[in-house]
Each structure stands twice: as structure tokens, then as C-alpha cells.
């Protein structure tokens, strides 16, 4: 979370409505045969697990200082006379500050701390600066030293109380949403089963046998290119508690498709150098949809945010990726955190596509440093595809899942150079 003010990016009613719409779309897009053969109770439990909100709960009793408080000396230009706006009334003065950061651990979904509850408590007199790092809220302070007896505890205690009030308000919103979820799921499943029964009845009513056509021109042989992800289906036919998982071979096929698309971008730099992350992402979606029958989407709500690239199969997430320009290690750390926030417990195949307008070698080395020092980093993962193994800027890793330390997530870092080609010198 990069914003320095909590509860400021979205309104709860907007997030709740998007979640309801996503739930409705997933139910009505679910495989008809699976819907008909699975009990409503099992399906309801499955969708509740996917769409329940988990409100943050602060552990204020466990608050601590990130580092020992330290003194900072600043040379500043301050107003000499409070009532004057004349530039001559400003003077340079040396001021001493005490800098420290208070950390508050919490449980629950960190993305909800970006959401403004329906009842919002404003802090009077000053703006509370705070940000989320992992599973804790951090409040940085830099306060002028006014006296030897100065006590800053009242300052941060007031800020914590303000945050806690909004967290409690948010929890009430979440409780109300969760209480209505079962009713919404039940109604949508009933409608989906009704439509599935109608569709099945219509399909079964066809009496004419299906025969493969041999007269289709070769130029229209799309099935050889377009493909659905190769999925390992769960072994229990009457439950949806276990989701299908994408095979590693198919995972590497997706990575290869994106690598080839990015190499095409590198070969025509003037076309892509001025594009935004979203515009570049759209080219990958076009390429992936050519292979995966339109199952690749962009800016799709998943986990606690909207991910850049999502490949789905029968309502299950097969692959998730984020596209980022290299802007330094701080932004790279945020990119990894963002990707891990966007995955649910069942999502295990991911990638970060890193584009650099600076020399790629140095940027990629620094990006890899960010990966291996991340708190959820587990180990490197050896890619098996020859195309990926020989690529100098494609590296596989395994991460511990943020919500389950015993579950592994595959994350592949892919680096590409996006630079405007220099104008050729005129020949003599």
C-alpha cells in the first residue's frame, strides 16, 4: 500500500458492489455440468470462502518502535513574524527533530485498509500519515523538539485511536456484507442451475449426429493455436472444495508466449517505448487470448485488488501476472507485495513482467535482489523449457503463500528492455 493515508483509495459501497458483481459473474460462468452435479450447500460453502471479506483487526497492545528514536537536524527557512507575508520576514534557522516510527500489527485483509468505511471518522487538526507494510501499520513521525520534558506518546496514541475507530467502522460494514453473502449466493446458484438445466435439455434434444467437417480451409484451423490451460482436475467429483491447478508445463507455455511477445517489443522499440503499463499489458492479453480462447483478462478483481493479467479456466484462476516499469528497488518491493496481495489461497502460478528504459542488466540484478530478500521468498525454481532456460532475464522462484506458509507460489521474474532506438548516423 503506497498511499500515506489509510481509508482513502476506495469507498466501501464501491468495493462491496464490485465484489457482488464478480461473484455473480463467476457463478453464471461456472461449468453447467459441475453446477448440476454438485450440491447447493457445497457450492455455497465454496463461494462463501472465496468472497467473504476479512476485516482488519488491530493488535494495538503489541505496538512497538521500528528503530530507536533519533535526532535529525534541519536547516529550514521559517517566517520570522507570524503576521507578515513579506519574503524579507523569512529567516534561516536550524531546528532539531525527533524521528521515530510506530508499528501496529494487525490481522485480516490489508487491502481493506485502503477502503473508507460508510461511517468515517475524520482526524481534526492534523492528517494522520500511515502506510501498510506486510501485516502491520506503520506511522512515521518527525517532530520538532520543543522542550526536554516533551512526550510524544499522546500524539501517536491519538492517531492510533483514530485509526482504530475507522477499523471498527469498517468491521461493521464487512460484517453486514458477509451476513448477506449466503443469500446472494443461494439466489444466484438457483438461477444458474435453472439456466444450466435448460441448456442441458436443449443440447440433449439434438438428434442429429455430429460429424467432423473436413472441408474447413487450413487458414481457419484455429484450435491448433487457441487452447485452454492444461488443468489437473480434482479427484473428488462431487465437491468443489479443491480447485484445479495449472500444470507446470502449461505455466511455462504461458511464460514463453509472453517472452516472445516482449522480444517482439524489444525488436521494435520505437513502437512501444512511449506506451504505459496498461497499454503494454493489452498486447500481452491479445497474444494470450489467441492461445487460450479468450480466457485472459486485464484489470480483473481478484484477492484484494485488480491484477493486470489473469488467465481463467472454468471459474478457476490459472495464472496471474503484473506488468511494471523499473523505477528502483522500492517500487520493485511494492510490486512483489502487490502481486502477493492479489492472489487468493488457491492461486499458485504468477509472474512479474519488468520493463526497463534504463540499461536492463543493472536493473535486473537489482530486481533479483528485491526478490530474494522478500520475507515470503522460499527458494529459486529451475524452469525446464529450453526457451526459458536460455533467456538471460527470465528467472523462476518459489514463495511461501502469504496466507499459508506451508503452500508454495511460483513467481517468475521476466525482464525486458524498452528503449527508443538511436537514429542511424548518416553514411558518408
Angle at which helices 277-291 and 248-267 cross, to 10°: 130
Cα 232 to Cα 90, 244, 252, 345, 381: the distances in Å are 71, 5, 15, 17, 20
pLDDT on residue 58: 94
| pLDDT top residue among 214 and 137 | 137
pLDDT over 50 at 2, yes or no: no
pLDDT over 90 at 91, yes or no: no
Between CA 58 and CA 65, with CA 62 as vertex, the angle to 5 degrees is: 110
pLDDT over 70 at 167, yes or no: yes
Q: How far apart are CA 336 and CA 409, in angstroms?
A: 12
**Cα distance from N-terminal residue to C-terminal residue, the chain:** 55
Which range has the worst mean pLDDT, 144-148, 196-200, 262-266, 315-319? 315-319
pLDDT over 80 at 278, yes or no: no
What average pLDDT does the segment 334-359 reach?
85
- pLDDT category of residue 96 using cuts at 50, 70 and 90: confident
Q: How many residues are there in the chain? A: 428
The winner for highest mean pLDDT among 43-57, 177-191, 194-208, 268-282 is 177-191
| pLDDT top residue among 212 and 138 | 138
Asked whether the CA dihedral 125, 129, 132, 137 is positive or negative, the reply is: negative
Q: Which residue has the cell 517566517?
A: 79
Give helix then strand counts, H and E, for the chain. Answer: 10, 19
Q: How far apart are CA 427 and CA 191, in angstroms?
A: 71
pLDDT over 60 at 31, yes or no: yes
Model pLDDT for residues 67-85, shown as the tens digit of each residue: 899 998 988 776 665 555 5
pLDDT over 80 at 132, yes or no: yes
What average pLDDT does the segment 320-345 reach?
88
pLDDT over 60 at 314, yes or no: no
pLDDT over 60 at 410, yes or no: yes
Which residues make Cβ contacts (< 8 Å) with residue 34, sequence separation at least 6? 240, 314
Q: How far apart are CA 90 and CA 95, in angstroms?
A: 14
pLDDT on residue 417: 85
Which range has the worst mean pLDDT, 37-51, 127-141, 165-179, 217-231? 217-231
Residue 211: how many CA atoms within 13 Å on its side-chain side?
Answer: 5
pLDDT on residue 86: 55
Average model confidence (pLDDT) for the chain?
78
Amino acid at each position: 500500500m503506497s498511499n500515506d493515508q489509510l481509508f482513502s483509495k476506495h469507498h466501501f459501497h464501491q468495493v462491496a458492489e464490485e465484489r457482488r458483481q464478480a461473484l455473480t459473474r463467476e457463478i453464471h460462468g461456472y461449468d453447467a455440468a459441475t453446477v448440476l452435479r454438485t450440491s447447493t450447500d457445497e457450492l455455497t460453502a465454496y463461494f462463501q470462502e472465496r468472497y467473504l471479506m476479512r476485516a482488519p483487526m488491530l493488535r494495538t497492545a503489541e505496538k512497538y518502535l521500528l528503530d530507536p528514536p533519533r535526532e535529525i537536524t534541519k536547516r529550514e527557512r521559517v517566517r520570522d513574524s507570524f503576521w507578515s507575508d513579506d519574503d524579507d520576514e523569512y529567516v534561516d534557522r536550524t531546528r532539531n527533530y525527533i524521528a521515530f516510527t510506530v508499528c501496529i500489527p494487525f490481522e485480516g485483509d490489508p487491502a481493506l485498509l485502503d477502503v473508507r468505511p460508510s461511517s468515517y471518522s475524520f482526524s481534526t487538526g492534523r492528517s494522520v500519515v500511515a502506510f501498510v507494510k506486510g501485516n502491520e501499520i506503520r506511522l512515521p513521525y518527525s517532530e520538532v523538539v520543543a522542550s526536554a520534558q516533551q512526550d510524544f506518546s499522546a500524539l501517536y496514541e491519538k492517531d492510533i485511536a483514530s485509526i482504530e475507530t475507522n477499523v471498527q467502522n469498517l468491521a461493521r460494514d464487512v460484517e453486514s456484507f458477509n451476513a448477506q453473502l449466503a443469500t446472494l449466493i443461494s439466489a444466484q446458484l438457483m438461477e444458474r442451475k435453472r439456466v444450466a438445466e435448460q441448456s442441458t435439455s436443449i443440447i440433449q434434444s439434438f438428434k442429429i449426429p455430429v460429424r467432423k467437417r473436413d472441408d474447413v480451409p487450413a487458414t481457419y484451423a484455429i484450435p491448433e493455436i487457441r487452447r485452454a490451460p492444461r488443468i489437473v482436475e480434482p479427484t473428488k467429483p462431487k465437491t468443489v472444495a479443491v480447485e484445479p491447478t495449472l500444470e507446470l508445463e502449461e505455466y511455462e507455455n504461458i511464460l514463453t508466449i509472453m517472452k516472445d511477445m516482449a522480444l517482439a517489443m524489444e525488436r521494435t522499440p520505437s513502437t512501444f517505448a512511449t506506451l504505459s503499463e496498461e497499454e503494454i499489458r493489452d498486447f500481452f492479453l491479445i497474444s494470450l487470448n489467441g492461445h487460450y480462447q479468450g480466457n485472459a483478462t486485464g484489470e480483473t478483481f481478484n484477492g484484494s485488488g485488480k491484477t493486470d493479467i489473469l488467465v481463467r479456466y472454468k471459474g478457476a484462476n490459472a495464472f496471474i501476472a503484473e506488468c511494471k516499469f523499473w523505477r528502483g528497488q522500492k517500487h520493485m518491493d511494492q510490486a512483489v507485495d502487490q502481486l502477493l496481495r492479489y492472489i487468493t489461497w488457491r492461486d499458485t502460478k504468477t509472474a512479474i513482467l519488468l520493463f526497463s528504459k534504463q540499461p536492463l542488466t543493472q536493473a535486473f540484478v537489482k530486481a533479483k535482489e528485491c526478490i530474494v530478500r522478500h520475507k515470503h521468498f522460499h527458494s529459486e525454481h529451475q524452469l525446464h523449457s529450453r526457451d526459458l532456460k536460455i533467456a538471460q532475464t527470465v528467472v523462476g522462484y518459489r514463495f511461501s503463500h502469504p496466507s499459508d506458509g506451508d503452500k508454495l507460489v511460483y513467481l517468475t521474474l521476466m525482464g525486458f528492455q524498452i528503449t527508443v532506438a538511436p537514429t542511424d548516423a548518416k553514411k558518408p
